[in-house]
Amino acid sequence: MIKIQFLLKKSNEEQENLEYITITDPKIDRSQKFAWGHPYVCEVYFSDMKQNFLSRSISPIDALFQAVKTAKNYLQGLFTNGCVISEAESKEPWNLEKLSDEFLEEEVNRIKNNPNISQEDKQKILKIVKESFSKTVIGDQLNKAIDKN
């Protein structure tokens, strides 16, 4: 398991809160079955939202990689929306970049254009992504990228 601790100061609040993200080890998800078999899944937990998100992929390495990208995208989304994210011990601000809409669109297109995934499975995956992130800081941008033809 990976645990990332940080201080989060939201743009509309004065106080910093100690938050964390945890990513579980990849394991086979027997609850889902795609044309290519059962996916591997990592759970990504964001303490500030008190919610788990699942990162699924065809291999355990890719599931972990996607989970880390999910955490990175979420933190960058917070930063883009005016939050300050700092090191938990030293309180030094993290160097994050503001995300553009094109970045999320590229990620969605990577799923849409993957020749190894059937059209039906692509729709299932995009539906899961859309539902999972609809209430997050990147939800609106992600919905636009998924709904774009």
Evaluate if residue 101 carries a pLDDT over 60.
Answer: no
| Mean pLDDT over the full length of the chain | 82
- The model's pLDDT over 52-97, given as tens digits with 9 standing for 90+, comes to 888 888 889 988 998 998 888 888 888 877 888 999 899 998 887 7
Q: Which residues face 149 on adjacent strands?
A: none
Q: Which two tokens stand for residue 28?
A: 């086979």
Total number of domains constituting the chain: 1
Q: Which residues face 5 on adjacent strands?
A: 20
pLDDT more than 70, % of the chain:
89
pTM: 0.65
* Containing structural domain, residue 82: 2-147
For 107: left if phi > 0, alpha if psi spans -120 to 50, otherwise beta; the answer is alpha
Q: How far apart are CA 32 and CA 141, in angstroms?
A: 26
